[in-house]
Structure 1
């Protein structure tokens, strides 16, 4: 009997514990699955809502963490303007109304300057023989060397042995030398000959204490120092610091040693000049 009473008492306690656990579980389940506000579903046959475009003035501006019309725009996204169809059509009409760009006109460049022929000053100053000039022709390298002095006649010719007349007018001294030499060879008078033509009117003279005094043909640009070198240079008795230059009725003295050290100060020689190198006293 006692066992039966104890069993009933224990069963009653277990039933109470089970009821309390069931009540607790029900309370927790109701709290976690509480429904939200009730949304009325649209009718089944209702037409779809039209798509509403944003207004033309809507712009996406650069903002960091700020919302534009409810949307958060990243910082790296470039700003843009959304255009409505009407705005796009207006822009197309504006582009179509603009005239096509006129191609740029290329102006012709200035014509290139033609090269100017520069004549040599040395060539322009070469003296050409003319009627009335005195000519000295030296024939060398032949059995009997000769020196002929003649005057260019009115028709521009001179007379030479064996070949008679030769045209000299209009030629330089070097050109006349080649003409005379070729005439002797072509006429088989000499197989080889050396010809030297000197124009006394275009010559200068060096005398005094030089190794080869005499008359020398004047070339373009000859200076006092060069003229002395053409005469073989000084002798051991020459006074190089006192060189006399006779030009017409004038006489000038120059220090040739200083000209050797400063060539820019050297004196130019002219036709008919006479250079005199005096003997040194000591």
Structure 2
């Protein structure tokens, strides 16, 4: 196997998890996200699925509860590496990957309000489609998006192409006829 092929094999492990709507921004973890943690050569320390609890934490062998909320997957990886170096493993090789984003929510004047799994590239238009489409009384001009990351809600300048992020809550109000 040549060096180029070897590099391609390991490329997915080197890429940071980013939020697709804004590739320059690192994705910050929060409650409901699901991680895959791999410690190479240590099956007992590797997990296919770990869901962050309501506080954005998860329990990990030897290290106890790890607060992952607000951190990137790469930062959580470093926390685990540093923790395992403290008397457990000499040179741990750890990979943390985001495998399932937390849900987003849509309510108000849609056919099927509720929570739906987030997918990268999600827009308001796609979110409405997942919610079964608009009701007869819906007003696309009266949409509020409460951001799951705590940033200010969007009310003005919301269009069908507005990016939706994991944890967002979309409210579609009735139009006045």
TM range (shorter): 0.3 to 0.5
Structure number with higher helix proportion: 1
Greater Rg by CA: 1
Higher-RCO chain (CA-CA 8 Å, sequence separation at least 6): 2
- TM-score, normalised via structure 1 length: 0.31
